Amino acid sequence: MTQTQAARLMDGTALARRIVEDTARRAAELTDRTGTAPCLATVLVGEDPASVTYVRMKQNRCRKAGITSRHVALAATTTTDELVRTLRELSADPGVHGILLQHPVGDHIDERAAFEAIAPEKDVDGVTFASFATMSFGLPGFVSCTPGGIVRLLDEYGVDPAGKRAVVVGRSAILGKPVGMLLLARDATVTYCHSRTRDLSAAVREADIVVAAVGRPRLIRGQDIKPGAVVIDAGYNPGNVGDVDFDSAVERASLITPVPGGVGPMTIATLLEQTVTAAGRQLGV
């Protein structure tokens, strides 16, 4: 009789807690040595309730880690030019070490123009073209936070992407594309799937590492997971449901992230960590 062994869970909550503790230690040391606490500027356009909650959550987590935050609340009617000006001012302000523009910013704003107004050395959310390039080439710079968190989870669980077939489902600028580039920089053979992919199941069946970054509840089914594959579910859909059908995938994977408690907590941890790193570089420590 063959017996299936359920996958080991990749605990993002525990790893994120350790990263935040370490970040808080580094922030305190930096503040002691320079007399200046790391500072993250958060910029919010409009009052979308979900965005307000996200920004508040990030500010609270900053405070607990010894990072000060400066909040800039802009009216929903703010134009691209006004937003760009604000971001350039923050980029030039020596009292600000990291900048987070909460997005989406609203359809009337050119989001790319706004992102590009963030100085790369303060781009702790990893949204600029410059950050994408340094990340892709494996050079020093800041990574997009969720992809960066995913790679940290792989490291933590001893998964070396080199030589493995990685299938990334989703190609958004903040998640799918950058996570694929990070895996490529780690020598994985990367395939991107998206809404125009003809046979998603066939692609997923080939994968040693699957990253689901779609926003479609339970799109990836256990029957398509190669036995022993590593499954990273970045999806977060209403009702705490991921993009992977967890109950069937857990029976075939060797490692799998739960939703919630897998990828989610890693995003803010990476943001805080990169803010302290940015402050250290700017303060010359």
CA–CA distances in Å: residue 281 to residues 101, 113, 234, 274, 284: 21, 25, 30, 10, 5
Residue (119 or 200) nearer to ligand NAP, CB: 200
Q: Which residue's entry shows tokens 């990574």?
A: 143
Q: Where are the beta strands (DSSP E) in the chain?
A: 8-9, 39-45, 68-74, 98-101, 165-169, 189-193, 209-212, 230-233, 255-256
Smallest gap from Cβ 127 to ligand NAP, in A, equals 12
How far is residue 268's CA from residue 57's CA, in Å, rounded to a whole number? Answer: 9
Residue (222 or 235) nearer to ligand NAP, CB: 235
Footprint (CB under 6 A) of ligand NAP, residues 200-229: 200, 213-216, 219
122 has catalytic annotation: no
Looking at the DSSP bridge assignments, the partners of residue 68 are 39
Q: Give the active site residue among 59, 122, 123, 125.
A: 125
Residue nearest to ligand NAP (CB): 172
Closest CA to 219 of 273, 267, 256, 169: 169
Binding-site member from 98, 161, 264, 280 for ligand NAP (CB under 6 A): 264
Contact pattern from residue 124 through residue 163 relative to ligand NAP, giving x for each residue in contact according to CB under 6 A and a dash for the rest: ----------------------x-----------------
Smallest gap from Cβ 87 to ligand NAP, in A, equals 21
Q: Is 267 in the site for ligand NAP (CB under 6 A)?
A: yes
Residue 267: CB atoms within 10 A of its CB come to 23
Number of residues that bind ligand NAP (CB under 6 A): 26
Contact assessment for residue 7 and residue 256, using Cβ atoms and an 8 Å cutoff: yes
Contacts of 52 by beta carbon, 8 Å cutoff, 6+ apart: 44
Residue (99 or 263) nearer to ligand NAP, CB: 263
Contact assessment for residue 39 and residue 69, using Cβ atoms and an 8 Å cutoff: yes
Q: Is 277 in the site for ligand NAP (CB under 6 A)?
A: no
How far is residue 43's CA from residue 94's CA, in Å, rounded to a whole number? Answer: 17
Q: Is 258 in the site for ligand NAP (CB under 6 A)?
A: no
160 has catalytic annotation: no
Binding site for ligand NAP (CB under 6 A): 146, 169-172, 174-176, 193-197, 200, 213-216, 219, 234-237, 263-264, 267
Enumerate the active-site residues: 58, 102, 125
